[in-house]
Amino acid sequence: MSRARISIRAKLLAAFLAVLVPMVILQASTLRRWTAEREAAVLTAEAEAADAAAADLREYFSDLARAAAAFPVDPLGGRLVFSPADVARYQMLHRSLFTSAFLAYPDGRVVPLSGAAPAPIARELPPFLHLLQQGRDTAISGVLTWNKTSHPYIMAVSSRRTPDGGLVGAVVLTADIQLIPNAINASLPHGAVLVITDRRGDLVVDSRRPNHVPTSRISLRAHPLIAAAMQHGAVRAREFVSPVDGISYLGAAVREPESGWVVSAQVRFSSAMAPVRAAAWHSFLWLAAVAVGVSLLAFVAATGVTGPIRSLAGAAQRIGEGQLGARARIGANDEIRDLAHTFNTMAAKVEETVADLQHVQQELRDAYDRERRVSMMLQRDLLPKAPPAVPGLDVGHLYRASSTESIVGGDFYDFLPLPDEGVLVVVADISGTGLEAASALATLKDALHFCAIEEVDPALLLTRINRLLCSTSAQDSFVTMACAAIKPERNSVLYASAGHEPPLLIRAGTRRAEFLLPGTKALPLGIDPDEAYEAMEVPFRSGDILVVYTDGVTDDHRTSDDTVLGQVGAVVAQQDECVSAQHLAARLYDEAVAAAGGQLRDDTAIVVVRHVGKPCVTAHQLVQAPRSAAALCKRTGADPDARCGSTAAP
């Protein structure tokens, strides 16, 4: 039975529909993807703006609290005493932080110091004085005094106590909320609106009216973005209708944890989606043009297009050999012409696909570069910017990646202040590299800070972190960690290790390096939840140096533990005793790189802690700048006749 004859025109029209329909579907999918990407980009920008503004707000509150704590008022004989000249100078210095200052006593008395105290301040104070009587040192209020006679303001309260802890009174600073917008330095995306509310949801700042000061409460608790942030802390809303003006917005909001204030950045949905609508219209026009063009081409080709079969075969062979630009010659007006045209279209699609694959390859390279940049940002956030200032200690630290391709490794260190004028030095090494290691480091840092709230003994701290990591971390991940609690006033260091490299201790007298080895070789963290860790306490006197490092220093095949001892001893012996710990850390790293043949195979972290005792002045300082050196001795209590080591400049 013969098959039914189908005309070339019908076949071409069917092929046209087979191409056009997937194009329409693909274009619709592309528009949805564009919409989602645009929303995500806008929300990310709004969230970054809200986070930056919240950080500025938090910094302002911290500055205000510190200004109240440092205000020149002292308790004496059950009263608060001050110098009017000191008060005037202090307010002039901090006039961008607060509007007025006054004293408050537990019996309700209020004594103005500078500026005019808001009228109802006496009735606002009792709750904050109650907090101070319960042991708080400082407190920040919400927005107070909403009326037509005075501007709204916030209040910072700082206690003044007797030596035995009794509350004598408090310094109270008030700041007009007009000062708050000046403290917000975050830049907003184009068309975005910044709105700040206090912990009750009352409007404080609206960037659409920067100079407007509300004289009555404007509650935004019903605002969906503000309400969600007050409940959940940080939110992103793809599309919501504002109860203020009934307009749809996109936005993000974050709650400042200390004060409970909410900072939101939002932009009109129509403005944010304008590029997507323009792209959709252009896409529709493009599809219409393609449909019309292909329809005309199909109609013309259906009238009788043919091409030489030999030319078609030759073109197919050349394409098979890799000449993707080869095309069939279109000859006489017959059925073969249609075949040649279809073949040429196919060849163009193949060439276009190859070009698209090359484009995808470039996009993959760009994605890798973006991941590397993200890794660099994570590394900067995970490591401390500077150690805490501890009297009697000089702390140096550094981190170096093995190469730019693995900028985030598993090395980590942190410094936690101890309650008795000491510091807890923590150095750790997590298995793995890249974003996975950065994520694990973030978890470890959170676990460290969480466990250190209740426990600062190194052995017990390691035990608590180990149990926490065993219950939350992946089975194939583990951490080596060294903890050293250094207390300069006790001239001792309490050290515990979880499978970490042994630290080095350099004695001031001999200037020789020795390893600190605990009694037992404990397992790394995250392996056995029942593992017990022990601590050892050794003397740490003035002039002694403690070096804690990761295995990047010793893992290279050319570097052994004895080599490390030799490097440290040589570096310390060549340095002036007043050379900073940071300089020693850098020199130790350079020596390790040189011993490894110019390149370390693993990431490296080094922390150097020197027990400085009293400050010293080098002979070089006395010879080159005797007046400056004498002033330094007078200011720090150093002995100008004491010799700091060699006469080389530090």
The pLDDT of residue 637 = 45
Q: Which two tokens stand for residue 346?
A: 């196919």
Q: What is the pLDDT of residue 646?
A: 33
Q: Above pLDDT 70, what percent of the chain? A: 78
Query: Helix (H, G, I), strand (E, B), or coil: what is residue 397?
Result: strand
Relative to beta strand 504-506, strand 545-549 is antiparallel
| Residue with tokens 């700040």, as numbered in its chain | 196
- Residue 108: what pLDDT? 80
- Identify which of 316-320, 419-423, 639-643 has the greatest average pLDDT: 419-423
pLDDT in tens, 3-39: 665 665 666 677 777 777 787 788 778 878 877 787 7
Check: CB of residue 101 under 8 Å from CB of residue 171.
yes
Contact 140, 57 (CB under 8 A): no
The identity of residue 248, as a single letter, is S
As a whole number, mean pLDDT of residues 612-629 equals 54
Give the lowest-confidence range in 545-549, 608-612, 630-634.
630-634
Banded model confidence at residue 620, pLDDT cuts 50, 70, 90: very low
The CA distance from 424 to 495, in Å, is 10
Range scoring the smallest mean pLDDT among 168-177, 304-313, 466-475, 487-496:
304-313
Confidence of residue 631 (pLDDT cuts 50, 70, 90): low
Strands (E), 351-445: 393-400, 411-418, 422-430
* Segment 224-230 long-range contacts (CB within 8 Å, at least 24 positions apart): 225/249, 225/251, 225/252, 225/253, 225/264, 225/266, 226/195, 226/197, 226/201, 226/253, 226/262, 226/264, 227/201, 228/253, 229/253, 229/254, 229/255, 229/262, 229/264, 230/199, 230/201, 230/255, 230/260, 230/262
Cα–Cα distance for residue pair 438/430, rounded to 1 Å? 9
pLDDT of residue 650: 32
pLDDT confidence of residue 117: 55
Residues 6+ apart with CB under 8 A from 131: 139, 157
Nearest in space to 353 (alpha carbons), one of 339, 361, 31: 361
Out of 362-376, 385-399, 549-563, pick the least confident. Answer: 549-563
Position 330 pLDDT exceeds 80: no
CB 118 within 8 A of CB 175: no
If you average pLDDT over residues 611-620, what whole number do you get?
61
Element (H, E) at 337: helix 335-382
- For residue 594, the tally of other CB atoms under 10 A from its CB is 11
Domains 40-55+187-274 and 63-179 share a fold: yes
CATH code for residues 40-55+187-274: 3.30.450.20
* pTM for this prediction: 0.44
Q: How many CB atoms lie within 10 A of CB 172?
A: 29
**pLDDT score of 636:** 43
Tell me whether residue 123 is exposed, middle or buried, using C-beta atoms within 10 angstroms of its C-beta: 0 to 12, 13 to 18, 19 or more.
exposed
pLDDT confidence bin for 163, thresholds 50/70/90: confident
Q: Can you say how many angstroms the Cα of residue 223 is from the centroid of all Cα atoms in its chain? A: 29
CA distances from 51 to 106, 196, 225, 355, 374 (A): 38, 12, 15, 41, 18
Residue 634 has pLDDT above 80, yes or no: no
Rounded to an integer, the average pLDDT of 445-468 is 90
End-to-end CA distance of the chain: 103
Q: Is 606 exposed, middle or buried (0-12, 13-18, 19+ CB in 10 A)?
A: buried
Q: Residue 391, exposed/middle/buried by CB under 10 A (0-12, 13-18, 19+)?
A: exposed
Report pLDDT for 170: 92
Shortest CA distance to 153 belongs to which of 103, 201, 114, 204?
Answer: 204
Nearest CA-CA partner of 31 in 364, 278, 333, 348: 278
Q: What fold characterizes domain 63-179? A: Beta-Lactamase (3.30.450)
Please give the residue that has the higher pLDDT: either 343 or 168.
Answer: 168
- Which tens digit of pLDDT belongs to each residue from 402-413? 754 555 567 889
Domain spans of the chain, in order of start: 40-55+187-274, 63-179, 304-381, 383-613, 615-650
Which residue is listed with tokens 């043009």? 289
Gap between the Cα atoms of 562 and 105, Å rounded: 65
Mean pLDDT value across residues 222-244: 84
pLDDT band at residue 395 using 50, 70 and 90 as cut-offs: very high
DSSP string, 436-460: HHHHHHHHHHHHHHHHTTT---HHH
Helix ranges (H only) for 78-200 are: 84-93, 121-124, 126-133, 180-183
Q: Does residue 588 register a pLDDT over 80?
A: yes
Mean pLDDT across 575-602: 82
Instruction: Give the pLDDT score at 30.
Output: 81
How far is it, in rounded angstroms, from Cα 222 to Cα 458? 49
Ramachandran angles phi, psi of 512, nearest 5°: -110, 145
Burial tier of 65 (Cβ tally within 10 Å: 0-12, 13-18, 19+) = buried
Q: 383-613 has which CATH code?
A: 3.60.40.10
Q: Are 47 and 191 in contact (CB under 8 A)?
A: no
- Is residue 171 over pLDDT 60? yes
Cβ contacts of 476 within 8 Å, gap of 6 or more: 431
pLDDT higher than 80, residue 222 = yes
- Mean pLDDT of the 146-169 span: 79
C-alpha dihedral sign at 596, 599, 600, 606: positive
Give the pLDDT score at 376: 65
Mean pLDDT score of the chain: 78
pLDDT in the model for residue 407: 52
